[in-house]
A and B are shown apart, each in its own frame.
Chain A
């Protein structure tokens, strides 16, 4: 080709787009003439023609009712050379009139056809490389944003599980993608109990994660203002319903746990039923209720169960039971239930379940759905007297019946007991239980004066008498180091009588046996023990 084309324009088609644009491909050449992009409508017959006609096309000889063809002629284009790779039109090489004003020769045509044959694959490769680079950059940007989103989402999950004496709590959360629609939460309630929830937003990924964040805030706010789990879910449902996107909803199981007595009150918004493992076996705990966000004004049934020592409860989302192995078998509820029953307690229940789960799905498993597990276990060996338990948070707001200080001096424990009994009029404690409390207060005060304050007259023992519902609490506070209550064992009377042990060592044993709970109060900076008597306790033998 001897002559420079007066115009060299390249047409390219955007993937899937309905238009073909003309743009400057070689700006140096294009600078000799004005370059204007041409839109080619998808129904323009030129498009079909150039795709199906390899080789140079003489524009002036083409007889098509094509607006684009007319525009090309108006631009002075004489030849157009379709660049086709693997059957796909990737561009048009357009040439204007020869500068010599002579016609293009057959040699020119041959040269151009050879050029098209060689240039098309190269151009295609260049196009793909550019496209992949752009896609990689876009993917990197999205992945970066998702990583940030995951970090943000993780901040919405509890940093750690609550540490409650006599209880073991555990949680596991693994999203199927970077972000998750599953979540769980532990909420310190104003009345001292603990709210425990597991929720699952329909769908996965970003949409679910966004609804998750909203749901969590709503459930938290509701649980802090409302006590009953059923009411919390009803309120959350009404708040969520107007804002949740169509066809999305949230299943949620919400439990309020009283660590002092093992009582769990729960309500369920269409979530997987929790499994209770007791001495009788593994059973489901049912409470009915619609998922959150579907329709307003829903009622959520509320149930109650007491978790006894050694018993545990497992809360889960769909991700584990709906997982499939390579044979397309589903993990399923029966397997989960059987595993909970088999668990020996050597390894934590969640670790045991996930070990089996990983064996079931096999290596190379691509997680189908978010997985969340929360385990609540009441440990064995909780003494009936409650020795060593932490005082209940809800009791911190109790009504104060009396508060006084007792000078640390031998014998003053009786004065402490007398003052405590003096503020208990009208509470309905029987004479028998009053005497028990009197002994417990006296013994506690004596311990505080002797061990906490070393009988230093400048260090009084402070006594606080409070009432919260049916709980009467007497706190005995000394200047000793904070912390728990030493383990009390039943004194070995035979050994004492044989002179093998000191005849002393009855104080803590007596206290423990005189009250309904013996707790310690953490975080006060002082050594504080708490004696609790239940005011509604039926007279015992």
Chain B
């Protein structure tokens, strides 16, 4: 049913990039937060999150992303989202997540 969620941290120069894959739901919480911890540990002022291989985000997944955004605001980091498909771009717009992160 749900595809296993993975989050890989890659560096593009000094920019930490989280490559997410699979479903972002309640099961993804631990993996996502650990990956974000690792990304934050890289320092810098921006973290890019690549949603290109994300197959599904539910309301719990939205809550997880809100949690990441809250953490980023505390540490004064910008979040940039890439790879969102049209449907999730719409959801990010409806939920106003797009007001607090750049979507490319």
Contacts and interface: CB of A to CB of B under 8 A. Distances in A.
Contacts of A245: none
A503 B58 contact: no
A493 B95 contact: yes
Nearest to B56: A414
B62 to A, nearest CB: 5
B87 A436 contact: yes
Given A411-B1, A414-B2, A513-B94, A506 B63 contact: yes
A496 B100 CA distance: 12
Interface in A488-541: 491, 493, 496-499, 502-507, 509-510, 513
Nearest to A447: B59
Contact of B87 (A415, A435, A446, A496): A435
Nearest to B3: A414
Nearest to A435: B87
A502 B66 CA distance: 10
A447 to B, nearest CB: 9
A414 B59 contact: no
B60 A496 contact: no
A503 B70 CA distance: 9
B97 interface: yes
A414 B63 contact: no
Contacts of A507: 59
B94 A496 contact: no
A50 B97 CA distance: 111
Given A411-B27, A439-B87, A498-B70, A506 B1 contact: no
B95 A439 contact: no
Contacts of B86: 432, 435
Given A411-B1, A493-B100, A497-B70, A506 B87 contact: no
B25 interface: yes
Contacts of B1: 411-412, 414-415
Given A415-B1, A439-B91, A493-B95, A506 B70 contact: no
B25 to A, nearest CB: 7
B99 interface: yes
A457 to B, nearest CB: 15
Contact of A411 (B25, B73, B87): B25
Interface residues of A, number: 28
A497 to B, nearest CB: 5
Nearest to B23: A414
Interface string B10-30: 000000000000010111000
B103 interface: no
B96 interface: yes
Contact of A496 (B25, B56, B59, B70): B70
Q: B interface, by DSSP: helix, strand, loop or mixed?
A: helix
Contacts of A493: 66, 95-97, 99-100
Contact of B69 (A413, A497, A509, A510): A497
Given A411-B25, A446-B59, A506 B95 contact: yes
B81 to A, nearest CB: 15
Nearest to A410: B26
B44 to A, nearest CB: 20
Interface in B5-62: 23, 25-27, 56, 58-60, 62
A509 B97 CA distance: 14
Interface string A315-353: 000000000000000000000000000000000000000
Contacts of B100: 493, 497
Contact of B63 (A415, A432, A498, A504): A504
User: Most chain-B Cβ atoms within 10 A of its Cβ — which of A493, A499, A505, A509?
Assistant: A493
B83 to A, nearest CB: 16
- 10 closest Cβ contacts across the A-B interface? A506-B59, A503-B66, A435-B87, A507-B59, A504-B63, A503-B63, A411-B2, A497-B70, A506-B62, A503-B67
Interface of B: 1-2, 23, 25-27, 56, 58-60, 62-64, 66-67, 69-70, 73, 86-87, 90-91, 94-97, 99-100
Given A412-B1, A509-B95, 11 more contacts: A411-B1, A411-B23, A414-B2, A432-B86, A435-B86, A442-B56, A491-B95, A502-B63, A505-B63, A506-B62, A510-B62
Interface of A: 410-415, 432, 435-436, 439, 442-443, 446, 491, 493, 496-499, 502-507, 509-510, 513
16 contacts: A410-B27, A411-B27, A413-B58, A414-B56, A415-B1, A432-B86, A442-B58, A446-B58, A446-B59, A493-B96, A503-B66, A504-B60, A505-B63, A506-B59, A506-B63, A506-B95
